[in-house]
Amino acid sequence: MAPTVLLAEDDRAIRHALERALTLEGYRVTAVADGVEALAQAHRTPPDVLVLDVMMPGIDGLQVCRVLRAEGDRTPILMLTALVETADRIAGLDAGADDYVVKPFDVEEVFARLRALLRRTAPRDDTPEPPPPPLPVPAPEGRLIEAAGLRMDPRARRAWRGERELELTRTEFELLELLVRNAGIVLDHSTIYDRIWGYDFGPGSKNLAVYVGYLRRKLDQPGAPQLIHTVRGVGYVLRED
């Protein structure tokens, strides 16, 4: 069955064009013009994924995202935004969004990001898939994993630095878990993109840098060493210097 998309965009031309493109791509699309309609439709017929414009009159995309997350709704959310500053993207991620696309966007990028979000939430079937490339130093699933003063419980999706529990979004937790399981090992950008998003968005994407920056803000504390280090031109590594 085709995935269902709830699209909220107040610009009629963009809404109609994106609705048509998504329909031709095989999605079942419900398109609305504002946040109030988006919330009503999400409550009435929950979609497989939401595409929300950030700037809408009345209830904007960020508010829609916050309301749904406060209700415990974990449906993947892709934000459409004309705001390109890092702080603006962080605001969307902090509201609970899973990903974002900056306007003007290529519709193929929207398709790619939706496919990645849906792959992460799709139920597993019995069809065997090729195993992903192995990463060193795996830890047993479902047990506490520890590195560089961090502790994580993958089953409960909880994480601590020392005695302080960290409030992490789903993507932040998955990114930190990947780094903790491979502490001391430099993970390149393409490996991280593949493991977290299921798709390499290419060298021009700032997605990973935004998430790493936001994760650092939650991890770092006065007088304590920084844990996530940038290896310029390669990727990131978790270590306690």
pLDDT digits (tens, 9 = 90+) for 11-25: 999 999 999 999 999
Task: Say yes or no to pLDDT of 86 above 70.
Answer: no
Tokens at residue 61, please?
């995309």
Name the DSSP class of 80.
Answer: E
Residue 141 is predicted with a pLDDT of: 47
Residue 29 is predicted with a pLDDT of: 95
Burial call 145-179: b when 16+ CB within 10 Å, e when fewer: bebbebbbebeeeebebeeeebebbebbbbbbbbb
Tokens at residue 168, please?
């992490």
| Tens-digit pLDDT profile for residues 158-210 | 899 988 899 888 888 889 999 999 988 898 888 888 888 776 666 666 778 88
Residue 87 is predicted with a pLDDT of: 66
Whether the CB-CB separation of 103 and 80 falls below 8 Å is answered with: yes
Closest to 208 in 3D by CA, of 195, 223, 226, 220: 195
Distance from C-alpha of 227 to C-alpha of 239, rounded to nearest angstrom:
5
Which residues neighbour 148 within 8 Å (Cβ) at sequence distance 6 or greater? 180, 183, 227, 238, 239, 240
What pTM value is reported for the model?
A: 0.56
CA distances from 14 to 25, 77, 92 (A): 16, 18, 20
